[in-house]
Structures are given as structure tokens and as C-alpha cells.
Structure 1
Amino acid sequence: MHMTKHLPNILTLIRVALIPVMILFFYLPFEWSRFMACWVFVAASITDFLDGYFARKHKTFSKFGAFLDPVADKLTVTTALVILLQDHPTILMMIATAVIIGREITISALREWMAELGERSAVNVAMVGKVKTVFQMMAIGFLLYEADLWFIPVYQIGLVLLYVAAGLTLYSMYVYLRAAWPMMKE
């Protein structure tokens, strides 16, 4: 039981620890390095799913976990987007990266402000936020992998998924801001 209680937080800490590993693999000068960076990102994404799953299954919620989980998510996604942007600095990649990172900062600040007002539940995670996350994780995985797989243009698919994720990001930010708007007008 003791290990089960701490498993979600351990998985979240592993996700944070995987960030420098992903960076290292991304920049290693080997043919297989992007492949490994992709798989480290996939492993981090799986820990994101598993920590929530185990926390719900075993009803082991902690204040530390509630703080660390979204921070780990944002650090992982932001780091991956920044290294991808640095690797392919195009205007569309910059716009998508700025939209996704800007939304994360905006919604984090909004949630903190709403919590101070005692209205935290007004900006709970919406389904569009979950769908956005799925597109975002798939896009980043494809972009990190980069190489074509047989006849499949992996990087181009990743770009399309990233643009869809950016659109969903804007929409989800609108949903959160609309929910908070009544308190903002006061």
C-alpha cells in the first residue's frame, strides 16, 4: 500500500527526469538519436497517463502531486516544442509554439487567480483540453521522430497535427476564459 500511495508522484518525477534525457538524445549526432528522443517523449507521455490512472484507481491524491503533475506536463511539452522550433525555425512552427506555450501560461495564471477567488472549479479541465493534449502529444512525437516511415511522411503529419493542436489550444483557451469571464468583469 505504501508504494501504491506514492506511485503517481514517482511517475510524475520520472517524467520530469526524462526531460534532460530527451534533450540529450535530440542533440546527439547519431542517426538513431531523434528516434530515441521520440521514445523518451512517448515514455514521458505514458507516465502522464499512468500517474492519473493510478491516482484515481487507488484514490491517492496529494497536494504535491496536484502541483507537480501540471508542471511536469508543461515542462515536457514546452521543452519539446522549443527544441523542435530551434531545429526547424519556420513562421508556422513559431506561431504554433507561441500559441501553445502562451495558452499554458495564460491558463496557469487564470487557474491561480480563480483559486484565490475561491472559484477554481469554474476552470476545471474541459474535454476540449483533453482532446488538445492528445493532438499535441501525437504531434510532438511525430515531429521528434521526423524521419519518414516507409512511405508515410511522419514530419508533415506531425506538422498538421501540431496546427490542429494549436487551433484546439486557442479554442480551449476561449472555453476557459469564457467560464472565468463573469468573475473577471466584477
Structure 2
Amino acid sequence: MNRSDLSRQSLTNLPNILTYIRMATIPVIVVLLTPPASMNSSNLAFLLYVLASITDYLDGILARRRNLVTSVGKLLDPLADKLLTSAVLIMLIPLGKVQAWLVFLIIGRELIITGLRSIAAGHGLILNASRMGKNKMVSQTIALIFLLPSVPRIDWMLDYAGLFFLWVSVVLGYWSAMDYFSHFYREAKRRSQSKE
């Protein structure tokens, strides 16, 4: 990260502002989902989550099309995604929407991959998000869109659909994790052989 990445213009470009907005929704959503969450507060949390998800989609498009990709954005964008998803999943546990052990599997995978990326970066290797990893994120987003709203007559259908997509995200998440570890191992082996 060089000095230009920390300039005011870089820190306050539109994609980064959208990321800041997404991060700002997190404490609001947490408060809205604090038990006992009413139907209205759950639905408001749902609307905020949808808006936050839209900003995630828009900031990436804007950054690439307007050549506004920055090191700060590369750091904050996935961090905002993980914080938002983790916060919502944790708040859904006491509401009886998801099991704690399932949330642990999802958050645990994120911590493992973040650790692997840190180790790889320390060796000068960048592990970019894979297509499977992106699909994992999409399925998590869809799952939470189903799990968050409260609609009395169809709650059970929404919950089943949400849990289905959440399990899809778990499968894709651990599958992509194996890919990341495999890529890291192959690259580390190749580099060690080239030094011999």
C-alpha cells in the first residue's frame, strides 16, 4: 500500500464510500435483530441487508469500470462482506433461524482462509477470490435474503429456502477452501523447487 492509496481522493472515491455505507449498516442491523426482534424490525433489517448487498454489487462494478480500484478498497470490500454476513448469521441464532454449529462452520471457514491468505501474502503470493468462492458469497447472500424477512404465512417456506442456500454456501465454501490450499501448496512447492 503506497502513499497514493491513502490519499483523500483514494479513500473517498465512490466505490469506497459505498463500502463504508455497507459497514455502517452492520450495527443498525444488529440492533434491529436483537431479541426479541419484532416482525417490523426483522423486515427493516431485511431491507437494510438488501440495500447493503446492492452496494456490494455496485462498488465492484464502479471500481473496475472507472479504474478506481485501490488497495484500501481491496482490503475493506471483502472485510465488509465478512463482517456483514457474520453479524447477520450470529443474530439469527437466538431467533431460531439457524443453528450455532452451522454458523461456526461458516465463520470458521472464513477465518481459516483469511489466515491462509495472510501466510501467502507474507511469501509474496496473492490468493485471489475464485469463481467458486464468489458463488459461495452469492449463495450466502440469497440465503440471508430468505432468512431475514418475517412473513407469518410463508415463514416456514422462507426458512427452508434460506437453509438450503446456506448449505449450498457451506459446500461451496469448503470446496473452494480446498482449492485455495491446493493452489498455495502447488505454488509453494514450485517456488521451493526453483530455488534448488
The alignment's TM-score, normalised by the length of structure 1, stands at 0.87
Q: Write the distance in 2 (CA, Å) between the matches of 1:95 and 1:51.
A: 32
List per-residue Cα deviations over 1:76-126 (Å, max 9, x = no partner). 011011111232276xx2332112111111111111111111111xx2111
List per-residue Cα deviations over 1:110-154 (Å, max 9, x = no partner). 11111111111xx21111111111110010121111435659711
1:158 corresponds in structure 2 to 162
Match among 122, 129, 135 for residue 125 of structure 1: 129
Q: 1:21 offset after TM fit, Å? A: 1.3
Matched, 1:71 2:75: no
Q: Write the distance in 2 (CA, Å) between the matches of 1:149 and 1:184.
A: 54
Distance 1:169 1:184, change over 3 A: same
Deviates more, 1:107-116 or 1:13-22: 107-116
Deviates more, 1:160-169 or 1:9-18: 160-169
Give 4+ residue runs of structure 1 displaced > 4 Å after superposition.
Answer: 148-152, 183-186
Matched, 1:99 2:117: no
Quick one: which amino acid aligns to residue 55 of structure 1?
A
Match among 138, 145, 148 for residue 141 of structure 1: 145
Deviates more, 1:142-151 or 1:160-169: 142-151
- Any stretches of 5+ residues in structure 1 without a counterpart? none
User: Retained in 2: the 8 A contact 1:22–1:41?
Assistant: yes
2:176 corresponds in structure 1 to 172
Q: 1:18 offset after TM fit, Å? A: 0.3
Q: 1:56 offset after TM fit, Å? A: 0.3
Say which one has the larger Rg: 2
Quick one: which amino acid aligns to residue 158 of structure 2?
V
Residues 36-51 of structure 1 mapped to structure 2, 5 A cutoff: 36-51=44-59
Measured on the aligned residues, the alpha-carbon RMSD in Å equals 2.3
Residue 74 of structure 2 aligns to a residue in which SS? Answer: helix
Q: Write the distance in 1 (CA, Å) between the matches of 2:170 and 2:87.
A: 16
The alignment's TM-score, normalised by the length of structure 2, stands at 0.83
Q: Write the distance in 1 (CA, Å) between the matches of 2:38 and 2:96.
A: 18
Q: How many residues align?
A: 180
Match among 9, 13, 16 for residue 16 of structure 2: 9
Q: 1:31 offset after TM fit, Å? A: 2.6
